[in-house]
Amino acid sequence: MMEIIDYALWLYMYSVLVAIAAVAIYGVVARPNILKKIIALTILGDTANTFIIFIGYRLGSTTPPIITTLTPTPEQISAFVAASVDPVPQCLVITAIVINMAVTALLIFLAIQAYRLYRTLHVKNLARLRG
């Protein structure tokens, strides 16, 4: 019984993440306001990062991937390997978060500059303006 509940919760988490990603993609594709496109893009990035961290979860282990001693014995190393979560997704995500933040900042700077020049953030109106 517990296994079925576990599996159902797991599927529920996956579907929530996919649904958020779908909403974010809709926002990027269909919303005409550039600011809303940027907000949707940050939501998409955060969903992707959560998804990657989620994949790194390991059943029954709650230890972060850090050895607590500087002079480990072979037994301590094998106990650490047996208990620790997957470090690869964490490693992938930490750079992605910072790069995401920097790219968002660049997009915001571009949006501010576009607003200063054209007094609008609506994509259709921006496309009509020339020069």
Site residues, another protein (CB under 8 A): 6, 10, 14-15, 18-19, 21-22, 25-26, 29-30, 54-55, 57-60, 64-72, 74, 77, 80-81, 84, 86-88, 90-91, 94-99, 101-103, 105-106, 108-110, 112-113, 116-117, 119
| Closer Cβ to another protein, 26 or 122, answer by number | 26
Q: How far is the CB of 103 from another protein (least distance, A)?
A: 5
Q: Which residue has the tokens 């296994």?
A: 3
Please tell me the distance from the alpha carbon of residue 14 to that of residue 47, in angstroms, as a whole number: 11
25-35 per-residue burial string, b: 16 or more CB within 10 A, e: under 16? eebeeeeeebe
| Closer Cβ to another protein, 1 or 68, answer by number | 68
| Closer Cβ to another protein, 108 or 129, answer by number | 108
Q: Which residue has the tokens 């599996």?
A: 7
Contact status, residue 104 vs residue 43, Cβ threshold 8 Å: no
What interhelical angle do 34-55 and 2-30 show, nearest 10?
150
Beta bridge partners of 129: none
Q: How far is the CB of 128 from another protein (least distance, A)?
A: 18
| Closer Cβ to another protein, 117 or 129, answer by number | 117
Tokens representing 40 are 């949707």
Q: How far is the CB of 21 from another protein (least distance, A)?
A: 7
Q: How far is the CB of 125 from another protein (least distance, A)?
A: 16
